[in-house]
Amino acid sequence: MAKMEVKTSLLDNMIGVGDMVLLEPLSEDSFINNLKKRFDHNEIYTYIGSVVVSINPYRQLPIYSPEKVEEYRNRNFYELSPHIFALSDEAYRSLRDQDKDQCILITGESGAGKTEASKLVMSYVAAVCGKGAEVNQVKEQLLQSNPVLEAFGNAKTVRNDNSSRFGKYMDIEFDFKGDPLGGVISNYLLEKSRVVKQPRGERNFHIFYQILSGASEDLLNKLKLERDFSRYNYLSLDSARVNGVDDAVNFRTVRNAMQIVGFMDHETQSILEVVAAVLKLGNIEFKPESRVNGLDESKIKDKNELKEICELTGIDQSVLERAFSFRTVEAKQEKVSTTLNVAQAYYARDALAKNLYSRLFSWLVTRINESIKAQTKVRKKVMGVLDIYGFEIFEDNSFEQFIINYCNEKLQQIFIELTLKEEQEEYIREDIEWTHIEYFNNAIICDLIENNQTGILAMLDEECLRPGTVTDDTFLEKLNQICATHQHFESRMSKCSRFLNDTSLPHSCFRIQHYAGKVMYQVEGFVDKNNDLLYRDLSQAMWKANHSLIKALFPEGNPAKINLKRPPTAGSQFKASVATLMKNLQTKNPNYIRCIKPNDKKAAHIFNEALVCHQVRYLGLLENVRVRRAGYAFRQPYELCLERYKMLCKQTWPHWKGPARAGVEVLFNELEIPEEEYSFGRSKIFIRNPRTLFKLEDLRKQRLEDLATLIQKIYRGWKCRTRFLLMKRSQIVIASWYRRYAQQKKYQRIKSSAVVVQSYIRGWKARKLLRELKHQKRCKEAATTIAAYWHGTQVRREYRKFFRANAGRKIYEFTLQKIMQKYFLEMKNKVPSLSPIDKNWPARPYLFLDSTHKELKRIFHLWRCKKYRDQFTDQQKLIYEEKLEASELFKDKKALYPASVGQPFHGAYLEISKNPKYKKLKDAVEEKIIIAEVVNKINRANGKCASRIFLLTKNNVLLADQKSGHIKSEVPLGDVTKVSMSSQNDGFFAVHLKEGSGAAGKGDFLFSSDHLIEMATKLYRTTFSQTKQKLNIEISDEFLVQFRQDKVCVKFIQGNQKNGNIPACKRKNNRLLEVAVP
């Protein structure tokens, strides 16, 4: 559209037909072609009366800017091109000005853009309603609830990268001014089976991938998760990454949205813990185990995952393990416990994961409702937005597709009823005779599904509750008995003989003739999915959790509230939810958005006619057009009609003085339109056939062209006369200015010529003077040069005899000076790096410089070592001193030493000050702790090991119990005389005590440690610092130790270690202790 063009009707510059009601002729082909034509020109919205048909463009279009919002604000529905903003504005104004509650129903299949459409509706309403801090906060909370629900309820499917796997209905509440007060969200049928299994090419719910990608390392450690997707069985790997989707960024968005909506930090943490528990449930695996009575029992293979789940949820590990292995059945006063085989255990695990996630999702919706609900109790106006699954026809249709299509049957039923009701009310309001409209009433299909006695859902519930063997086949047999004669039900085994030879219908399937077409359902899984059983043992285990959120999710697990009544089935719950939804929708004025997916490739500019045709059929769009066209195809207020077509009649052009209706009557009589083609209402003109409207448009277009030609003629004449007079005045002005300009140019030429002549004369004089000055200068320089040469000759004659006597020595010194100068300049460019370990040094160029070369190398090395040492902090110097001390003590003596070189000496391996377990130990030790590590103390009698905490302070060596932290022994450093160890690659060492000291009563200590080198070095340095005496470090494969009154020889032999790196000690006799090392 041109920038200055103003649109007053959707009929202006229309691409194709903007309103399908006006399509002529009306057929499926013409309908699809019109959609394609508009889609190719980026017109993705089309009307069917007041219904908006939206085609997903799979790209960003510049039609949702703030300028567009203002363009559609407070405008008539048919005034501008079809747009979702027009419907949103119409609904909002009706709610605000006419006090009518509204609902916007958004339907379509996965990938058609339903979720995006609901966001656009909410963003438009948020943009046009009132402003203010409180109002803005409410709007922000309503908008930010979307990212949270999308993270937990949306997933990547083969049809859509952000597919809603649940139905959502949001009631937005407004005050009398039209400002939002809050909202209430209802969710329908979360696809919880996706938690445990996803089809090929699809993903689990977004939140699982977002946590693993976006959570910090600290948060992952708290949740006991790893970032690798392949570690979790519940996550499909073939589509773990989605192009154009950054899960890490989305996770931060979700966390921010939860904070805005009102989630507390501890609530967010609890939610993430439940999600982590669900993810880890998939890693629990079972193995069969036969019992004595011959029954199979399942056991958990690896209990580490179970342990981490219990730590996350606060559940006793034994309770949850038993719930996965046994099932308790209660009947009146009796309890019967039966074992679960492997298949049943996997079923119980998946059922728990699905129930845990679906209940968490329901709790999330409830928690969001608490935050966004209206705080005031004033009377509210309500706008509902329904984003729910469209009709689904897949190759394999199961229980989920069955109840989704049932919901769509109900929505189609209420759509037809409310559309006809709206038409009839307008006819009565305008005093137009109402004629009965023939249409297909799908109530018979709804009754086939929901009838309380003979409906499919009722029979499915009956089968689930029936005692005895219940399978999907018995359910199908029951359908064949009850529904065999129904005209919309087909089965291979039904009593109608016409299907017995229908090979396209397998034995395990049944087919229903829906309003959108025939759908064949696989009966497999109907009974299990409808039962949706969770064993009572698992519910009770969840209720026993110390996790407040999980405990709240399973109230039925409370032993004090045991209810032996069977919980309602999934089908009956969904049926009740749909009934409540229908009742809610019937109290509101409906607005419809039908979403269509143009292709399965999720690509822009591709329009698959077969796919679009399929959606047009099951959305019932042609049926909708026929209902709208059954009476009058077009209606318009008299004022707008007269304003648009008044130029077609001389009596109404350019201004009609009188009532608008009278003007329209004169106009239509003048145009000789047959009376059966239109009717006059109270405020509108009703046109029956679209051909009549297009005839008016053609006449208007022709008349506008004639008027435009007339206007152009008058305008061009005025423009030519004005231009001639302007040119005449301009010619006079231009002539006077040109004469002035010509005289100025002439004067400038004369002036510039004089300047050129002057410059040439001055140049000639200057060059002449320059030649004279140069001649004088050359004469003076020649005399000076001759004099200099003459004086030089005299001096050389005088001093020649002195020069010949000292020439050799001067040449030698000069040569030597040049060689040294060259040597030092080359060394400047060849100096090696400043690293002290760099042993490179340039080669010696001359033999006589040998001593100088070596001295220079030594000086440079000392200098760069000093530069390197100057960079050390005091802490680093201490570390290097300890490492140097260890090198002097153990290098080439102890085989374990090379492995310790690269390991930093930490000393405090136990964070005693931070761990509340060692609070008593910390209080008992007042000195600074140099080493705190767990060592293995060797029993002197039998050689067995016991874990002890080894503490080294400034004055003492302390041994404490690892569990209680109680101090067992305390040895002053002055009583330590020697440390003995082997030369092997082991961590065994002995601490010799001074005879007669208080600590030496039981004899010397034998230890084993993973940090032997560090402990011996720090003990050596601390003892020297305290006693000023060097501690004796003995390295030998045989040495003596004192056990009470006996001397025992410790001998090291080659052998296998049974407990990892702990040496195996064996007491041979009273005088020998053998230590087996690798």
**Residue 296, phi then psi, degrees to nearest 5:** -85, 140
Query: Is residue 123 annotated as part of the catalytic site, yes or no?
Result: no
Q: How crowded is residue 785: how many other Cβ atoms within 10 Å of its Cβ?
A: 10
CA angle 786–790–794, rounded 5-degree value: 170
Report the run of H or E that residue 881 belongs to, with start and end.
helix 874-890
SS3 state of residue 949: strand
Query: Is residue 965 annotated as part of the catalytic site, yes or no?
Result: no
**Could you give the residue ranges of the DSSP H alpha helices within 491-599?**
526-531, 536-543, 548-553, 570-586
Tokens of 5: 């063009």
Calculate the alpha carbon distances from 776 to 78, 762, 767, 779, 786 in Å. Answer: 102, 22, 15, 5, 16
Considering the candidates 115, 213, 250, 1017, report the single residue annotated as catalytic: 115
Tokens of 844: 């010696």
CA angle 881–885–891, rounded 5-degree value: 135
Report the run of H or E that residue 297 belongs to, with start and end.
strand 296-300
SS3 state of residue 922: helix
Query: Is residue 164 annotated as part of the catalytic site, yes or no?
Result: yes
Considering the candidates 9, 56, 88, 160, report the single residue annotated as catalytic: 160
Q: Are 373 and 172 spatial neighbours (Cβ–Cβ below 8 Å)? A: no
Reply yes or no: is the peptide bond before residue 590 cis, omega within 30 of 0: no
What are the DSSP calls for 123-137, one per residue? HHHHHHS--SHHHHH
Q: How crowded is residue 944: how many other Cβ atoms within 10 Å of its Cβ?
A: 12
Considering the candidates 163, 193, 358, 405, report the single residue annotated as catalytic: 163
Would you report the helix, strand and coil content of the chain in percent, each value rounded to 5? 50, 15, 30
Q: Are 46 and 38 spatial neighbours (Cβ–Cβ below 8 Å)? A: yes
Q: What order of strands is seen across the sheet that includes strand 517-522?
A: 489-491, 509-514, 517-522
**Residue 1054: beta bridge partners?**
1077
Reply yes or no: is the peptide bond before residue 654 cis, omega within 30 of 0: yes
What are the DSSP calls for 956-985, one per residue? EEEEEETTT--EEEEEEGGGEEEEEE-SSS
Considering the candidates 164, 358, 982, 1009, report the single residue annotated as catalytic: 164
Q: Are 1051 and 1074 spatial neighbours (Cβ–Cβ below 8 Å)? A: yes
What are the DSSP calls for 548-566, one per residue? HHHHHH-GGG-GGG---SP
**Residue 976, phi then psi, degrees to nearest 5:** -90, 120
SS3 state of residue 753: helix
**Residue 154, phi then psi, degrees to nearest 5:** -110, 155
Q: How crowded is residue 1075: how many other Cβ atoms within 10 Å of its Cβ?
A: 22
Query: Is residue 110 annotated as part of the catalytic site, yes or no?
Result: yes
Considering the candidates 9, 46, 50, 110, report the single residue annotated as catalytic: 110
Considering the candidates 153, 182, 214, 390, report the single residue annotated as catalytic: 390
Considering the candidates 116, 305, 392, 885, report the single residue annotated as catalytic: 392
Query: Is residue 677 annotated as part of the catalytic site, yes or no?
Result: no
Considering the candidates 16, 49, 108, 111, report the single residue annotated as catalytic: 111
CA distance 173 to 1004: 82
Instruction: Kindly provide the residue ranges of all beta strands, DSSP E only, lying in 1010-1063, ordered along the sequence.
Output: 1032-1035, 1038-1043, 1046-1054
**Residue type present at position 998:** G
Q: How crowded is residue 562: how many other Cβ atoms within 10 Å of its Cβ?
A: 12
Q: Are 175 and 296 spatial neighbours (Cβ–Cβ below 8 Å)? A: no
Report the run of H or E that residue 55 belongs to, with start and end.
strand 51-55
Tokens of 495: 């009593």
Calculate the alpha carbon distances from 164 to 70, 365, 938 in Å. Answer: 30, 15, 64
Report the run of H or E that residue 19 belongs to, with start and end.
none
**Residue type present at position 1005:** F
Q: Is the Cα dihedral 803, 808, 814, 817 positive or negative?
A: negative
Catalytic (active-site) positions: 110-111, 115, 160, 163-164, 390, 392
